[in-house]
Each structure stands twice: as C-alpha cells, then as structure tokens.
C-alpha cells in the first residue's frame, strides 16, 4: 500500500518453512534486502556470503525489545520504520543495520 516491493517468507509458497540458508539464498537471488530478528543465525550466513566473495542486498535486523512480537502495535510500527528506511534510499549492499523505531 505504500508503494514498496516487499515479500514475506512466511507468505511465500516456496519459502514458507524454509531454512535460514534457503531464505538468504532466495533473497540474494531475487536481489532483496532481508529483514529479520534472527541476528545470531543471519550474522553467520552474512559472514559466509562475504567470505566466499559473494554479495547480498543488505540485512535489516529488528529486535524483540524495540518491536515486541505479539504486541498489537508492532506491525504498524515495523511498517512505518521500514517505510522510513526505504524512502531514505540507503545502499545496503553487503551491509547490515539495526532498524530504528520511528515512534515509541
């Protein structure tokens, strides 16, 4: 609705239930920035991609403290924060950042 091309792995008929490595591979193949709360696993995958001399389109990490799962306002806050990030048009290629909440 905000004009961004986004896909959720949870809603994707092929990626739903896939391993983190498969999601990372698909994001790289489709030239998509990945958004995840799973810092531990994706930091390892990100390091492996870079160590192999390959590239990724960026990883945006979120946190349960800043955007708590299960809280009714979280989805809206996440959408607003991602909208601000996407409108900033940052080059995230081969980088990762932690998403900043735009409101509390």
- Give the pLDDT confidence of 22-56 residue by residue, as tens digits: 999 999 999 999 999 999 999 999 999 999 999 99
The kind and range of the H/E element at 87 are helix 74-88
Specify the number of domains making up the chain.
1
Residue 13, pLDDT above cutoff 80: no
CA distances from 2 to 59, 83, 94 (A): 20, 8, 25
Is there a domain that residue 87 lies in? yes
What's the count of helices (H) and strands (E) in the chain, helices before strands?
3, 3
| pTM of the full structure | 0.88
Domain that holds residue 61: 33-98
Is there a domain that residue 64 lies in? yes
Q: Regarding predicted confidence, which is higher, 3 or 10?
A: 3
Mean pLDDT of 7-27: 86
Is there a domain that residue 25 lies in? no
Is there a domain that residue 58 lies in? yes
Is there a domain that residue 14 lies in? no
- Give the pLDDT confidence of 87-96 residue by residue, as tens digits: 998 999 999 9
For the beta carbon of residue 101, count every other beta carbon within 10 angstroms. Answer: 15
Given a contact cutoff of 8 angstroms between Cβ atoms, the answer to whether 46 and 56 are in contact is yes
């Amino acid at each position: 609705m905000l004009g961004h091309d986004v896909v959720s792995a949870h809603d994707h008929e092929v990626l739903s239930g896939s391993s983190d490595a498969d999601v990372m591979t698909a994001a790289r193949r489709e030239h998509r920035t990945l958004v995840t709360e799973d810092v531990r696993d994706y930091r390892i995958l990100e390091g492996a991609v870079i160590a192999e001399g390959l590239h990724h389109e960026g990883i945006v990490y979120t946190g349960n403290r800043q955007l708590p799962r299960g809280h009714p306002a979280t989805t809206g806050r996440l959408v607003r924060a991602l909208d601000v990030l996407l409108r900033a048009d940052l080059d995230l290629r081969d980088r990762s950042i932690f998403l900043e909440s735009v409101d509390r």
